[in-house]
């Protein structure tokens, strides 16, 4: 670790805060506004939506599910038919049914798990009109849900939590599109290609042929990062020089994936009328990101003792699966933010990280994708954790727990536990099954504990809607395509429904004013309690599995064992 490295990390995180604050306030304004712009008016009248009529939580969820179901069907259809559709300069045929199913679920759920190599599978039409569209609207769906949950706490004794169609439209039109245009142009300046050509064939200096895949990369890269989607245009994702040409574009990538999730905490504080509540959530998120980055940075610069023993200079650290231009510091920050965020873009191959360097991103996903989590999904996931934290505090002092002036009762806690238990059920259940099935084990690229980690990582990534991978695993098989798709589907929607039910029950409760007996949820005590609840809950659920994967691998590495 170097001082310059830490300065790079501090600069990027500082730039996120600087931009997130005004963006958060701006989002609070547009989602509270009663005014319907002419563009919205035209869209709503064509869609048959009355923007002034609000929905109950159940209707809101139904609208959200309907929108995502239609999105899934269209995307699936586009992939199955791409061979007969235009904008296919490389002449790719139809995507196989299990892969198309997996990919459609993956992009609709904001996961962007990729069982395929982008440049070898998908036509430009699918990349643009299919995948890019879902990059926007799955992110907009997340923002809408988070705004709806926020309203549940800002209103007193009310029935409705907003209108899904209005929130979705505003998130797309006024947040995602303007930001994407700016970031795409910045990427282009830094060298990210933007063309409709499929590839260029060149003759190298030594006379060999090299086919260089190209495409409309900058426009997809921008929304892929901003929407915490993470699905790359190319197989190597943000490690590919065309997606991420320089240290500067790397810094921009980290900035743009952190921007909206960080801004949502400011939006939250402003909409509930108490900014310190938003700061408290942000402080917990930041603490985990910084601690995780420190661990990865230290572990990767310490390097792999097996290679050093083979005569490799130790000073550069572990360079397998890393490109030179990013540096160890911003690679570590990228690894941690992309997994704390449910983004899943990668600028280094996580499978080749050192055991502890690989444990951190895995654990960040297992902590529930709330640090700071995906656009929207991070905020509502964090609110569920906050309910749990005040519940624990309430048990300790024997008082009815409250959060933001709303009493937390048995119904809300049951729903919160239901949401929380869905993730370990799919992550650990499917991992256990896959670890015993020959059809799944045939996909492993690495033997020993690393093999188990590959499987555990895949299901953690899918259920958490992250999308990054220990990519040695060959996941493009019917078993993995199907089970990972189910994990993604339930990880998103089976989680959202109980969370929205909590919102529905919260919005109906009267907002009480704080008394002397109220546990303040904006101070250091609450921040520490919330962080501890997240860490302990995650540890209890996943430590046994992690002990068999990266932890034992670390011990074996120091003993000099190979597989």
Partner 1 sequence: MTSHLRPAVVLLGAFTILTGIAYPLAMTGIVQIVLPDQANGSMIERGGAIVGSSLIGQPFTSDRYFHPRPSAAGQNGYDAAASSGSNLGPLSAKLLDRVKHDAAELRGGRTAAIPADAVTTSASGLDPHVSPAYADMQVERVAKARGVSPDRVRAVVAGNAAGDDLGIIGEPRINVLELNLALDAALGTGSG
DSSP state, 173? I
Which residue number, 168 or 434, has a Cβ lying nearer to partner 1?
168
What residues have CB less than 8 Å from 305, skipping those under 6 apart?
A: 557, 558, 560
502 neighbors 416 (Cβ within 8 angstroms): yes
Q: Does 202 bind partner 1 (CB under 8 A)?
A: yes
Peptide bond into 372 cis (omega under 30): yes
Contact positions with partner 1 (CB under 8 A) in 139-198: 165, 168-169, 172-173, 176-177, 180-181, 184-185, 188-197
Please give the Cα distance from 453 to 448 (Å, whole number): 9
Least distance in Å: CB of 379 to partner 1? 22
Which residue number, 47 or 536, has a Cβ lying nearer to partner 1?
47
Q: Give the up-direction half-sphere exposure of residue 351: CA atoms within 13 A in the CB hemisphere.
A: 19
Contact positions with partner 1 (CB under 8 A) in 278-317: 303-304, 306-307, 310-317
Which residue number, 68 or 466, has a Cβ lying nearer to partner 1?
68
Residues touching partner 1, count (CB under 8 A): 127
Residue choice 128, 417, 418, 494 for contact with partner 1 (CB under 8 A): 128
530 neighbors 385 (Cβ within 8 angstroms): yes
180 Cα distance to chain centroid: 17
Residue choice 113, 326, 363, 430 for contact with partner 1 (CB under 8 A): 326
Please give the Cα distance from 237 to 244 (Å, whole number): 9
Residue choice 251, 333, 499, 527 for contact with partner 1 (CB under 8 A): 251
Least distance in Å: CB of 251 to partner 1? 6
Which residue number, 359 or 393, has a Cβ lying nearer to partner 1?
359
Contact positions with partner 1 (CB under 8 A) in 21-80: 43, 46-49, 62-63, 65-67, 69-71, 74
65: how many CB neighbours lie within 10 A of its CB?
A: 14
Which residue number, 275 or 325, has a Cβ lying nearer to partner 1?
325
394 neighbors 517 (Cβ within 8 angstroms): no
Q: Does 132 bind partner 1 (CB under 8 A)?
A: yes
Least distance in Å: CB of 391 to partner 1? 34
Which residue number, 61 or 529, has a Cβ lying nearer to partner 1?
61
The mark string for 350-389 relative to partner 1 (x by CB under 8 A, - otherwise) is -xxxxx----------------------------------
**Which among 202, 165, 176, 211 is positioned nearest to 52, based on CA atoms?**
165
Least distance in Å: CB of 470 to partner 1? 7
Least distance in Å: CB of 236 to partner 1? 4
* Assigned token pair, 539: 């540890």
Helix (H) or strand (E) holding 154: helix 133-154
Q: Does 546 bind partner 1 (CB under 8 A)?
A: no
Residue choice 157, 208, 397, 516 for contact with partner 1 (CB under 8 A): 208
The mark string for 105-124 relative to partner 1 (x by CB under 8 A, - otherwise) is ------------x-xx----
SS3 216: strand
Contact positions with partner 1 (CB under 8 A) in 210-239: 210-214, 216, 218-220, 223, 234-236, 239
User: Segment near partner 1 (CB under 8 A), from 20-28, 422-430, 433-441, 468-476?
Assistant: 468-476
Least distance in Å: CB of 136 to partner 1? 4
Least distance in Å: CB of 154 to partner 1? 25
Q: Counting beta carbons within 10 angstroms of the beta carbon of residue 242, is it exposed (0 to 12), middle (13 to 18) or buried (19 or more)?
A: buried
Which residue number, 163 or 265, has a Cβ lying nearer to partner 1?
163
User: Segment near partner 1 (CB under 8 A), from 209-217, 262-270, 360-368, 540-548?
Assistant: 209-217
Please give the Cα distance from 206 to 18 (Å, whole number): 48
User: Segment near partner 1 (CB under 8 A), from 244-252, 407-415, 527-535, 539-547?
Assistant: 244-252
**Ramachandran sector of residue 461 (left: φ over 0; alpha: ψ -120 to 50; beta: rest):** alpha
* Assigned token pair, 517: 């007996």
Which residue number, 219 or 521, has a Cβ lying nearer to partner 1?
219
Q: Does 435 bind partner 1 (CB under 8 A)?
A: no
Please give the Cα distance from 554 to 318 (Å, whole number): 14
Which residue number, 120 or 512, has a Cβ lying nearer to partner 1?
120
User: Segment near partner 1 (CB under 8 A), from 30-38, 144-152, 241-249, 531-539?
Assistant: 241-249
Q: Does 471 bind partner 1 (CB under 8 A)?
A: yes
Q: Does 85 bind partner 1 (CB under 8 A)?
A: no
What residues have CB less than 8 Å from 327, skipping those under 6 apart?
A: 5, 8, 247
CA distances from 29 to 19, 36, 125, 191 (A): 16, 13, 35, 35
SS3 239: helix
Please give the Cα distance from 417 to 533 (Å, whole number): 13
Q: Does 86 bind partner 1 (CB under 8 A)?
A: no
Residue choice 17, 36, 133, 298 for contact with partner 1 (CB under 8 A): 133
Residue choice 79, 107, 130, 175 for contact with partner 1 (CB under 8 A): 130
299-335 burial, b if ≥16 CB within 10 A, otherwise e? bbbbbbeeeeeeeeeeeebbbeebbebbbbbbbbbbb
CA distances from 219 to 136, 164, 317, 474 (A): 11, 26, 34, 28
Instruction: Tell me the chain's radius of gyration from C-alpha atoms.
Output: 23
Which residue number, 207 or 517, has a Cβ lying nearer to partner 1?
207
Q: Does 15 bind partner 1 (CB under 8 A)?
A: no
Helices (H), 321-443: 327-340, 355-366, 377-397, 410-436, 438-441
* Assigned token pair, 49: 């939506």
Q: Does 527 bind partner 1 (CB under 8 A)?
A: no
């Amino acid at each position: 670790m170097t001082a310059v490295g830490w300065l790079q990390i501090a600069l990027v995180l500082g730039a996120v805060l600087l931009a997130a604050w005004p963006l958060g306030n701006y989002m609070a304004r547009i989602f509270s506004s009663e005014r319907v712009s002419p563009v919205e008016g035209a869209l709503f009248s064509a869609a048959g939506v009355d923007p002034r009529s609000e929905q109950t939580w159940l209707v809101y969820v139904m609208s959200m599910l309907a929108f995502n179901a239609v999105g899934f069907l269209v995307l699936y259809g586009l992939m199955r038919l791409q061979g007969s559709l235009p904008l296919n300069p490389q002449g790719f045929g139809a995507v196989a049914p299990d892969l198309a199913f997996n990919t459609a679920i993956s992009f609709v759920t904001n996961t962007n798990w990729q069982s395929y190599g982008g440049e070898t599978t998908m036509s430009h039409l699918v990349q643009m009109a299919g995948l890019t569209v879902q990059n926007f609207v799955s992110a907009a769906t997340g923002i809408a849900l988070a705004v709806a949950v926020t309203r549940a706490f800002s209103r007193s004794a009310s029935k409705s939590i907003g209108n899904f169609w209005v929130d979705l439209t505003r998130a797309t039109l006024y947040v995602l599109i303007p930001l994407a245009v700016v970031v795409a142009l910045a990427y282009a300046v830094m060298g990210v290609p933007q063309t409709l050509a499929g590839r260029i064939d060149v003759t190298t200096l030594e006379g060999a042929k090299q086919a260089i895949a190209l495409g409309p990369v900058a426009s997809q890269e921008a929304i892929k990062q901003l929407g915490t989607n993470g699905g790359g245009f190319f197989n190597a994702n943000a490690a590919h020089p065309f997606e991420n040409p320089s240290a500067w574009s790397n810094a921009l990538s980290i900035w743009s994936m952190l921007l909206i999730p960080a801004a949502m905490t400011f939006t939250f504080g402003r909409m509930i009328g108490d900014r310190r509540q938003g700061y408290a959530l942000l402080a917990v998120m930041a603490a985990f990101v910084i601690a995780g980055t420190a661990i990865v940075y230290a572990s990767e610069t310490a390097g792999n003792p097996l290679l050093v023993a083979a005569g490799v200079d130790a000073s550069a650290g572990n360079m397998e699966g890393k490109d030179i231009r990013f540096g160890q510091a911003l690679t570590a920050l990228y690894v941690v933010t992309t997994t704390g965020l449910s983004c899943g873009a990668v600028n280094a191959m996580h499978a080749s990280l050192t055991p502890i360097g690989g444990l951190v991103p895995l654990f960040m996903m297992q902590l529930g994708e709330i640090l700071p989590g995906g656009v929207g999904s991070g905020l509502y996931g964090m609110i569920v954790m906050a309910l749990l934290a005040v519940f624990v505090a309430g048990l300790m002092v024997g008082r009815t727990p409250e959060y933001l002036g709303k009493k937390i009762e048995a119904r809300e806690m049951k729903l919160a536990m239901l949401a929380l238990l869905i993730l370990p059920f799919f992550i650990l259940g499917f991992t256990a099954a896959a670890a015993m099935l020959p059809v799944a084990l045939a996909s492993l690229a690495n033997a020993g504990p690393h093999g188990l980690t590959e499987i555990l990582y895949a299901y953690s990534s899918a259920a958490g809607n992250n999308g990054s991978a220990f990519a040695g695993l060959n996941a493009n098989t019917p078993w993995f395509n199907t089970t990972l798709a189910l994990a993604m589907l339930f990880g998103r929607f089976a989680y959202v429904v109980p969370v929205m039910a909590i919102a529905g029950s919260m919005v109906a409760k009267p907002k009480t004013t704080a008394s002397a007996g109220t546990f303040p949820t904006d101070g250091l005590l609450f921040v520490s309690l919330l962080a501890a609840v997240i860490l302990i809950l995650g540890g209890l659920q996943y430590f046994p599995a992690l002990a068999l994967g990266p932890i034992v691998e670390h011990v074996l590495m120091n003993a000099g064992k190979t597989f």
